[in-house]
Amino acid sequence: MIRKKVMTVLSVVFLLVGNGYALDYPIVHTGITKWYDDKGEISAPSQGKDFYGQDADYRENMPRYKDNGDGTVTDLVTGLMWEADMGEKMTFDEAQEKAKTSRLGGYDDWRIPTIKELYSLINYSGRVMGDRAIDMFIDTRYFKQPIGDVKKGEREIDAQTWSATEYVGKTMRGAETVFGVNFVDGRIKGYPKYDPRTGKPNKMYFRLVRGNPDYGKNRFIDNGDGTISDLATGLMWQKADSGRGMDWEDALRYAQELELAGYKDWRLPSAKELQSIVDYTRAPSVTNTAAIDPVFDISTFIDPRGKRDYPFFWTATTLLDGPRPGNMAVYVCFGTALGKMRGQLMDVHGAGAVRSDPKSGDKREYPKYFGPQGDVQYVYNYVRCVRTIR
């Protein structure tokens, strides 16, 4: 018997906050409970000291799940219900058909998650070593997460999970693109929908979801005092940004020292918090805007192509990658996610990508280009602060 399309008690996502209004959805913590400087792990810094204000200093909405014993997992923070085992890779169209016909757990209202829904599952206690998987960026006690098949010529990180969110622009050399989360290396990027060599549809993993249809939809209010409230998440944002780039240590300090609209409890947002305000209906190449609601002000700069663009923004989230885990932090790209391939600069990941930069470096040496797709590294990224409405 198919269960009716109703929310169970565990799926209710309307949570009251101090001022009495209801949240459409809470932002799940990144899962980080350790502290890092720009080189590696450190002991907990006290308030006012260097490197205070990172994810481990704020622990609201820590990840919690329930295995329902029927192939489904309920997120006890968001109320969303998930498919535990994704099965085999498939094309975008095949996944759409699977969602329509799935009766997993007795439910018939499964869907492919949006990129915001999918990113809610990421856990930054994971670790990667370049192309090699170490610890998954998803809770493997509840979710099955494959890695790439090296016997077939794949890298271990080639196990990306696609979302339902298609990029409004094009990546690479005009490729139709779908945003996905890589739970093996901890990043969001856009992936070509079709193989550029054969024209055939690419295949990725898909993890179906059901539940709150309003998850990821913002409700912004301009408070008229230099702040923006999102009534969907219960977060208040700095309307303007820092107006200048800085390294990660200075970004943490900037947020801790900010006094705005009578509030002193501002912080550098986590990766999940900052990604929650990306507007995936926008991209510089299509709308001539950043991938953010126009209720916000955003700085511009001249990118390495000599074009007006929008900066990367730091988060308080450390990404454990490479031989020196702890020296990278996550940024969110609201402009063009540039890479240099065969000497040509192009949008390789899409506006709304979530990547990482070294936390510090000689400003005169940047931008640099890193990895097989020549990802641009700015290192001196911008800041938009956040606080919780209480």
Domain boundaries, the chain: 12-31+60-210, 236-388
Tokens 């040509």, residue?
344
Average pLDDT over residues 90-100: 98
DSSP string of 117-147, one letter each residue: HHHTT--TT-EEETTEEEE-SS-TTTSB---
d(C-alpha 315, C-alpha 368), whole Å: 20
**The whole model's pTM is what?**
0.94
Tokens of residue 213, six digits: 């249809």
Q: pLDDT band at residue 366, thresholds of 50, 70 and 90?
A: very high
- Per-residue pLDDT tens over the stretch 187-242: 999 999 999 899 999 999 999 999 999 999 999 999 999 999 999 999 999 999 99
d(C-alpha 93, C-alpha 13), whole Å: 30
Q: pLDDT band at residue 292, thresholds of 50, 70 and 90?
A: very high
Q: Does residue 19 carry a pLDDT above 80?
A: no
- Per-residue pLDDT tens over the stretch 40-88: 999 999 999 999 999 999 999 999 999 999 999 999 999 999 999 999 9
Residue pair 316/250 in contact (Cβ under 8 Å)? The answer is: no
Residue pair 55/316 in contact (Cβ under 8 Å)? The answer is: yes
Question: Mean pLDDT for the chain?
Answer: 94
**What's the pLDDT at 136?**
98
Residue pair 118/14 in contact (Cβ under 8 Å)? The answer is: no
**What's the pLDDT at 278?**
98
d(C-alpha 294, C-alpha 281), whole Å: 12
